[in-house]
Structure 1
Amino acid sequence: MNQYQEIKQGEKGAWLSIGAYIVLSVIKLAAGYVFASAALVADGYNNLTDIIASTAVLIGLRISQKPPDEDHPYGHFRAETIAALVASFIMATVGIQVLISAANSLFATEHEAPGMLSAWVALASAVCMAGVYMYNRRLAQRINNQALMAAAKDNLSDALVSVGAAVGIFGSQLGLPWLDPVAALAVGFIICKTAWEIFYSSTHALTDGFNEKELNSLRGTIERTQGVRFIKDIKARVHGSNVLLDVVVMVDPQLSLVESHRISDEIEKRMERKHNIMSVHVHVEPLVPEEASKIAGN
């Protein structure tokens, strides 16, 4: 299965999330207003944003399947990252609105205890979203898709949000009605936290940031390649769910062009086999005495 087919597989997870969020948001908002649960209403609005966020991920997956062209020689894979960035803004906006609404409810003079049925709605929703999370996580791991993995993490946070809403509702039934708006506040904070995490990872990737530990792991694999004497430079960046790697290696100056090319091919094969990196640019240079003395001095 090539990378475009893998992205196509990822659409299944996005569609599953959209369908689940549509059904759950309607049920939660209806039950929240009928049974006067601020936490369940907040959870319902959270799922509304998740519909938009999952749709953005789906659009990103669709665009990223477009083949390379004159304007995009590396393909359109970063559409996934841009879609996740847009989704983070949408989630943050609604999260702030939920926090404001919950704060107003918390400081109200009277608190109405929500109906018990709303708590069972929240728990059923948590079970449903846990199932969606497990499906999307397994699919994302199988096809190595970061956008779908981000959606899976959002599914998990939604399951936890629903559990928190249920706890608040059960607490209000025990004579602590203020627990419901407090749970709504917790929902708002979780929405904002998830939005920040998606925003940070997206902007880090779009500005060509790369995990230093992962880069050191790539360096170690290249250094253990037979014929590589020294790594002069190594750079990596994330392109959607792919990694683009550029490395300059120094080899014995007595090697022929064919032998140097063999080392380059071996590095590419090891990167694909061990790290699932398909796009590797290797530049080979001779390790001349001047360079060797500099290395020894360092």
Structure 2
Amino acid sequence: MTQSHPNPMVDNRKGVRRVLMVALGLNITMSLLKLLVGVMSGSLAVIADAMHSATDALSSLTGLVTNKLSDPRPDRDHPYGHRKYEAVGALGIAGFILFTAIEILMRSGERLLEGLPPIRVTGQELVLLTLVLGFNLLLAGYELREGRRLNSNLLKADAQHAASDVWTTVVVLVGMAGAVWLQVSWLDVALAIPMALLLIRVCSQVLRSTLPWLVDHMAIAPEAIYAEAMSTAGVMNCHDIASRGVLGQQIFIEMHMVVDADDLTKAHQITEQVEDRLEETFGPVRCTIHLEPKDYVEDWITYTGAHG
């Protein structure tokens, strides 16, 4: 059994933390502005949007806490590092998004039962919401760009949350404009309900991108790992391939391999070449290879470990 030396893991937490601090400050500011407009106008959609921005702030705060915990370096109690704390933080963000959607639906039902009381809107309030919309656009773009640069699922999830806030603010502006110029009292609720459904969709997207990491879903197709290993000189066969982790951050690969070598030194050199090739192709990897005798090469042994 050979195991590669753990690769130096890129600790991008400082950069992620800086982005989350900016997001937290902006989200708190936007929450207060929206709440002020909502209280002054009596608009359910604006108050709901203020709550959405408040959950944005909470998600940024959650991200800061989990970012502090998600040290990629292994220790005695966490030999594979602490990266999954970041995934837990992304799940927390999904929970905040879902809570907001349910709250909007509940408030819409209450407003319908109250007989759709009219909302009061002034030009100043519309200007404030337009300003908030501009902040939303800048924040969503900033977090998404930095999330891709730092390869952070946490930032990407927070960017999705911020992007959903852009759409909710657009919906709110349309509803308030309709109340001012068209005198349509039901438009506020009619737009708040699809806004809540949009948030539920965003929540499902965050879950789909995060849960595979937490449940150790396959990170790289075994066929792809097999192809890279078999392209290395001296490799005769490999099978029982498994992988987990996050592509581009840290992948853990296990496999059984047969090499054309008569001594341990040469066999080790071949496995090192395989590890280097895998890292060049897939990014940071930590590879555990179980060497087997040459007579293990049989037609039925494949990369899936299945009997043909």
Q: TM-score range by the shorter chain?
A: 0.7 to 0.9
2:59 & 2:253 partners in 1: Cα distance? 33
Q: Is the 8 A contact 1:46 1:191 kept in 2?
A: no
Structure 1 residue identity aligned to 2:65 = I
Partner of 2:264: 257
Q: 2:104 aligns with which of 98, 101, 104?
A: 98
Matched, 1:284 2:274: no
Q: Compared with structure 1, are the counterparts of its residues 70 and 225 closer, same or farther at alpha carbon in structure 2 (3 Å cutoff)?
A: same
Query: 2:69 and 2:10 mapped to 1: Cα distance?
Result: 11
* 2:299 alignment partner in structure 1: 293
Corresponding residue number in structure 2 for 1:197 = 205
What secondary structure, in the 3-state scheme, does the structure 2 residue paired with 1:245 have? strand
Q: CA RMSD in A?
A: 2.7
- Map residues 1-298 of structure 1 onto 2, 5 A cutoff: 3=9, 5-65=11-71, 67-117=73-123, 118-173=125-180, 174-210=182-218, 216-238=223-245, 242-288=249-295, 291-295=297-301, 298=308
CA offset digits 1:58-88 (Å, max 9, x no partner) = 1111111374332112222211111222332
Unaligned runs of 5+ in 2: 1-7
Q: Which is richer in helix? A: 1
Task: Provide the identity percentage.
Answer: 23
8 Å Cα contact 1:229-1:249 kept in structure 2: no
Distance 1:162 1:292, change over 3 A: same
CA contact (8 A) 1:37 1:180 kept: yes
TM-score, normalised via structure 2 length: 0.84
For structure 1, list consecutive stretches of 5 or more residues without a partner in the other structure: none
Deviates more, 1:107-116 or 1:184-193: 107-116
Change (3 A) 1:66 1:255: closer
2: CA distance, partners of 1:222 / 1:116:
67
Question: Distance in 2 between the 1:130 and 1:223 partners?
Answer: 47
Q: More deviation in 233-242 or 162-171?
A: 233-242
One-letter amino acid of the structure 2 residue matched with residue 128 of structure 1: F
Count of residues paired in the alignment: 295
The CA deviation at 1:55 is 0.8
Paired residue type of 1:102: S
CA–CA separation in structure 2 for the residues paired with 1:176 and 1:249: 69
Give distance in 1, aligned partners of 2:272 and 2:91. Answer: 36
- Show CA shifts across 1:96-152 (max 9, x none): 112100222245424414415444333322221221122222222222111111111
**Are 1:120 and 1:166, in contact at CA under 8 Å, matched by a contact in 2?**
no
What letter is aligned with 2:92?
Answer: V
Q: Secondary structure at the match of 1:33?
A: helix
Q: Does the CA-based 8 Å contact 1:236-1:243 persist in structure 2?
A: no
In the superposition, relative to structure 1, how do residues 287 and 152 fare at CA in structure 2: closer, same or farther (>3 Å)?
A: farther
Question: Are the structure 2 counterparts of residues 186 and 287 from structure 1 closer, same or farther at C-alpha, using a change threshold of 3 Å?
Answer: farther
Distance 1:261 1:46 in 2: 55
- More divergent stretch after superposition (166-175 vs 109-118): 109-118
Contact 1:77 1:239 in 2 (8 A): no
Q: Secondary structure of 2:212's match?
A: helix
